[in-house]
Structure 1
Amino acid sequence: MTQDTSPTADGKAVSRHRWGATPDGKGRWHFGLWAPSAQKVALWLDGAETAMRKGEDGFWSVSAEAEAGLDYAFVVDGERRPDPAARRQAGDVHGPSTLVDPAARRWKKNWAGRVWDEAVIYEMHVGTFTPEGTFKAASAKMQELADLGITAIELMPVGQWQGARGWGYDGVLPYAPHPAYGTPEEMQDLVETAQAAGMMVILDVVYNHFGPDGAYLHAYAPEFFEEERHTPWGAAIDFTKPAVREFFIENALYWLRDYRLDGLRLDAVHQIIDPSPHHVLVELGERVHELQFDRPLHLITEDERNEPELRDTGCYVASWNDDYHHAVHTALTGESEGYYAPFAHDPIGDLVLALTRGHVEEGQPRHGKETRRGRPASHLPWTSFVNSNQTHDQVGNRALGERLVSLADPRAAEVAHAMLLTSPFVPMLFMGEEVGETAPFLFFCDHEGELARLTREGRQREFKDFLSFGEEVPDPNAEETFERSRPFQGPPEQMQHWRDLTRHLLELRAERIVPLMTSGRAGPARVARTGPRAISALWPFKDGYVVARINLGSPPDTPPTTEPHDFAIGDPAADPFAFALIVSRN
């Protein structure tokens, strides 16, 4: 099932989605909804109803004269509900949708994109990134990030959910930018401003579940979901259905085309289970690359399975590498609860593996684990792994939302920062990390009534494996919890120190390391443990090599020979926490 096109009045082709409302360029709009078991469906447009026609594939459709700005909804067996593919809502997720055409945007300047080797990602939550919490306010900060050396911003999900506050992973209208952040036009302005500053824009999208409040697809089309299986967050989606696959593939194409995004990060793809011969994620990747835009497009996954398969297709450039995070975190904090337990056994040894191969767990037996995870992935480019010292998940899914710099020795945190930003994997910073922010990032939402109670109690249960945290879990529904999660609250002197450190490291990366990376890899990494908590790493490239000396608690057993370095923290021959970098060009 592919989208068709029709000519506009000026002869240009426009895409027509099966789902939702799209204009034909001649004053009429096409409306589509998949509701295979519905007996009667009508379009409610500007106060009047028009019957829709059902096709053999279960899609109901109609064409009507309309203009942008009008309110509309679908009336399914007598119940009036919003369009599940609405591009904008008139109000909350329960009311009518509003006609808007993001494809009508006239971009002021062309954008050629950036190659993936240059990626330095900055993960951002729009609602807390600025005091205003809007696309417009975030736009004013883009040049500042670019000047720091950031080359890509990654927006946490923006698909609309009920209420004002939230992380975005419980959205129910994945085509509609969250109104608390601003309008579709203001989101496009943010994209254009970031790109004008030289940064790519990546959007985090959630294709594995819908949120608990306002997901009317359950009523429209119960066939959209599996009868038996559930994800940890709600009913599992049935990706064997062509209409279901198209809902999400159209969404991906829509964001990339109409918002001129440079890429998407697909949340928790291990919960996108599809027994079809041609997996929906492979089809999605192929459809994206068929667009043939005049800029590179980058698809990234989050996959707990440590599977290289999607990256092997060539359609996905990278996956978040939690193994690297877990090794660094346990090495710096000594924590061993929950999912940290296998990494706490020998975090330095695990870090050696991560710096050598990318993933740590590749199917081998692991201390304290009964099941094996992953498959060998060292054949992938180093840039196929997005490494991080903290993310919204790893900070916000702590009971008290502490950042790494609040949990570790300050000098150790600086060493980990330097290691992240100068190794040849793709580094990702979580907003505020660039200035050493210590304010927490907590889990917050905006539920009411019974749902608020269930969320609060579920948050308490979530930490049963993290016994050291006790019972001090902030109420996720409290506005105070949201306000406490705003970054950039640290002491000015500390923030300036970290900002200068970040800028210096990213200048070194852009000027010296990225040119080597683009020359191509020249063999496997050579990484060795040189002391109980000391590592020496060498990454060879066709045009040179990068060497790092890393002390995370002890100096090496045998001090390295004196050699000129390009950057250093402390003395790697003697200090327990130290870092030295050598970048050599042939």
Structure 2
Amino acid sequence: MNDRTLPFGATLLGNGLARFRLWAPDAAVVQLAFADGRILSLARDGAGGHGLDAPARPGDRYRFVVDGQPVPDPASRAQHGGPDGWSILTDPDAYPWEAHDWRGRPWHETVIYELHVGAYGGFDAVREQVPALAQLGITAIELMPLAAFPGERGWGYDGVLPFAPFEGYGTPDQLKALIDTAHRHRLQVFIDVVYNHFGPAGNYLHGYARDFFHRDGSGWGTQLNVAHPVVEGFLLANALFWLDEMRCDGLRFDAAHAVGSPAFLRHFAARLRAALDPDRHIHLMLENADNRASLLTPDADGIAPYVAQWNDDAHHALHVLLTGERDGYYAAFADHAAQRLARCLGEGFAYQGEPYAPWQDRPRGEPSGHLPPTAFIHCLQNHDQIGNRALGERLTVLAPPAALDAALALLLLTPPIPLLFMGEEWGETAPFLYFIDHAPELATAIRDGRREEFAHFGAFADPAQQARIPDPQAPDSFEASRLAPAAARDSAAQQRLALVGLLLTLRRDYLMPALPGCRALAAAAVGERGVLAQWRLRDGRVLVVLANFGPALPRGTLPAPLPEHGLLFQTPPDAATALNATRIPAHSCLVWLDHGETLR
């Protein structure tokens, strides 16, 4: 589906004309208003659409007037004044792209760096850091949602105009310049898209196109009726907008479990791939609380609907091992956390159909042991796992530095695709808080809802303690979350940055070329807070990783012998010496590339 068949949006026709369309089946009268004062009437077709060809040029500001109510174009490519303001007519071919030969990178070369554009300083500020990220060893930047939303600040998951980048981050051309610069430095650009709902404020579609949404909505806003062909076409056009017009390299589908049935997700991915240039490397990723391995399983042609999923199971198990926390959803990982992490390393998901008790007393997940390790995206931190904490703390202030060094080694020197969250590379200690800018009534509801949610956590059960939770509406919550990527760092930050750079260099030189066809051989817990795992790489070598996130252990705790040669990395620096002295050091990680037999 292209712009000429989508019943939304404005398309330049040439000769000073543009075609304007709005699907408004519940509207009696639809008009087109320009900022210069012109008001024109749209003709209605038999399918609920309204259209008009009118004189217009790039840069013109316009909006629709539906039964007397001014509304933005739902497919607007740019906004002035947010969803309550004017849509801007844009020329999709005007930007002078430079990276013409870019076709992307294969998935196994991916190292993701997730960031919030606003907290990073805007599109231009991110673009300035692209060379440094590339030099560090990052191969993909993932931008939290960009879709326009009301107010001056927010995470972006309450967007209401999916085609229009939030104007507080910069113009569409500034975003294109960021993407172009990334490509010239061989960095992929992924966009986080939200296809399960529109936000609770600034959504005018429900007033003239009720069938666009489910009647019951969702906890986050108005849930999209993805079974409707117009809605599916709208979402497909949006995905192609990011991948074709904006030249992004992949999409992460937020909360896919809330989008619709797995059948829809599979069908949508197939339609999207059929519309893309087969010579490009385009990667579709999921966040999916249901752990549906079937959405990651290749078909007879070797193509999976989605290349990978954020593996929350691995994160939760690691977080418990690093911090000892047991509240909330961590309760489902608190017992036998090392065994659950080992299962993630050896089979993908920790939960593959077992009851997710005590968090949810129902089965969760599907068997995933047949999937390649690269079908899983692992992280120590991401926007959810920091920002959805009551105080927004990073692991840097929750776990011992030596344990974090070991966890980074496990993350970056094992086959699953690694993800770092902005600032993690230098050990940022500033929080990443949840922040919003809504009308008072909605802001109060969100503030009260968060405090009620955290009342289930022991540290915040007392109302007096709940008062410590930062107000998401307060401008200070956003200001506290801002980064200064180019700032001078202390010695600890420089050491962490050097460690991450070394680990990414080792991954590039030793792991990346051998990841296609890699398969897990075995993984097991070592004591209560350690794991031993091994993989057979494409070149036949065996990758062995031993990580201990607790106190020192007797070497006899190991479930299998270790390689005698091929030590690739160790932390702390004397870890191998301690290991030879019959103990597994505290807060350690050792990595071998061995040409011998497997350990099993």
Fold equivalence (TM over 0.5): yes
Q: Closer, same or farther in 2 for the Cα pair 1:289/1:502, shift >3 Å?
A: farther
1:44 corresponds, among 33, 38, 43, to 33
Q: Distance in 1 between matches of 2:329 and 2:494?
A: 34
Q: Which amino acid aligns with 1:568?
A: Q
1:74 aligned residue: 64
Pick from 82, 92, 108: which aligns with 1:102?
92
User: Structure 2 matches for 1:304-453, cutoff 5 A?
Assistant: 304-312=289-297, 314-365=304-355, 368=358, 369-453=360-444
| Deviation by residue 1:156-195 (Cα, 9 ceiling, x = unmatched) | 0111111111111111111111111100000000001111
User: What is the distance in 2 between the residues matched to 1:248 and 1:370?
Assistant: 33
Matches within 5 A, 1:73-472: 73-110=63-100, 111-129=102-120, 133-227=121-215, 229-274=216-261, 279=264, 282-292=267-277, 294-312=279-297, 314-365=304-355, 368=358, 369-469=360-460, 470-471=465-466, 472=468
Structure-2 residue corresponding to 1:482: 478
Q: Aligned partners of 2:278 and 2:73: how far apart in 1?
A: 29
1:13 is matched with: none
Contact 1:387 1:420 in 2 (8 A): yes
Counterparts in 2 of 1:434 and 1:100: CA distance versus 1, 3 Å: same
Paired residue type of 1:192: D
CA distance in structure 2 between the partners assigned to 1:18 and 1:358 by the alignment: 41
- Paired residue type of 2:493: M
2: distance between equivalents of 1:27 and 1:294? 35
Matched, 1:548 2:577: no
Check the 8 A contact 1:19/1:85 in 2, yes or no. Answer: yes
- Secondary structure (helix, strand or coil) at the match of 2:203 reads coil
Deviation at residue 358 of structure 1 after TM alignment: 1.0
In the other structure, the counterpart of 1:530 is 526
Partner of 2:515: helix, strand, or coil?
helix
Q: Secondary structure at the match of 1:226?
A: coil
Distance 1:63 1:135 in 2: 33
Query: For the residues of structure 2 that align with 1:508 and 1:41, how far apart are their CA atoms?
Result: 60
Q: What is the CA–CA distance in structure 1 between the aligned matches of 2:7 and 2:241, rounded to whole Å?
A: 12
Which is worse superposed, 500-509 or 38-47? 38-47
Correspondence for 1:493: 491
Q: Structure 1: how far apart are the matches of 2:14 and 2:456?
A: 56
Select the residue among 39, 48, 61 that pairs with 1:58: 48
TM-score, L = length of structure 2: 0.91
Determine the structure 1 residue equivalent to 2:509. Answer: 511
Please tell me whether residue 565 in structure 1 is matched to residue 567 in structure 2.
Answer: yes
Alpha carbons 2:566, 2:594 under 8 Å: kept: no
Contact 1:534 1:555 in 2 (8 A): no
CA contact (8 A) 2:99 2:183 kept: no
Q: Please say which of residues 475-484 and 348-357 is displaced more in the overlay.
A: 475-484
- Output the CA distance in 1 between the equivalents of 2:566 and 2:240: 49
Query: Structure 1: how far apart are the matches of 2:515 and 2:370?
Result: 16
TM-superposed CA distance for 1:81, in Å, is 1.3
Distance 1:390 1:266 in 2: 18
Deviates more, 1:294-303 or 1:180-189: 294-303
Cα displacement (A) at 1:502:
0.4
Helix, strand or coil for the counterpart of 1:84? coil
Other structure's SS at 1:166 match: coil
Corresponding residue SS for 1:231: coil
- Equivalent pairs, count: 567
Change (3 A) 1:344 1:304: same
Q: Do the aligned residues in 1 keep the contact of 2:200 with 2:222 (CA within 8 Å)?
A: no
Post-superposition shift, 1:208? 1.0
Residues 43 and 52, structure 1, Cα contact 8 Å, conserved in 2:
yes
Deviations 1:538-572 (Å, cap 9, x if unpaired)? Answer: 10023022111111114354265554411100326
Q: Is the Cα–Cα contact under 8 Å of residues 534 and 556 in structure 1 kept in the other structure?
A: no
Q: Aligned AA for 1:545?
A: V
Counterpart contact for 1:445–1:476, Cα < 8 Å: yes
Query: Is the deviation greater in 326-335 or in 568-577?
Result: 568-577
The runs of 4+ residues in structure 1 deviating greater than 6 Å are none
Question: Cα deviations across residues 362-383 of structure 1 (Å, max 9, x unaligned)?
Answer: 0024553521100101212211
Percent of aligned pairs sharing the same letter: 43
Question: Are the structure 2 counterparts of residues 310 and 120 from structure 1 closer, same or farther at C-alpha, using a change threshold of 3 Å?
Answer: same
CA distance in 2, matches of 1:394, 1:490: 27
What is the identity, as a one-letter code, of the residue corresponding to 1:81? V
Counterparts of 1:374 and 1:556 in 2: how far apart (Å)? Answer: 35
With 195-204 and 456-465 compared, the bigger mean Cα shift is at: 456-465
Query: Following TM superposition, by how much is the alpha carbon of 1:80 offset from its aligned partner in structure 2, in angstroms?
Result: 1.8
Report the equivalent of 1:3: 2
Q: Distance in 1 between matches of 2:356 and 2:158?
A: 33
- How far apart, in 2, do the equivalents of 1:280 and 1:67 lie? 37
1:290 positional shift: 2.4
Relative to structure 2, which stretch is displaced further, 455-464 or 366-375?
A: 366-375
CA distance in 1, matches of 2:213, 2:356: 35
Residues 1:366 and 1:206: Cα distance change in structure 2 (over 3 Å): closer
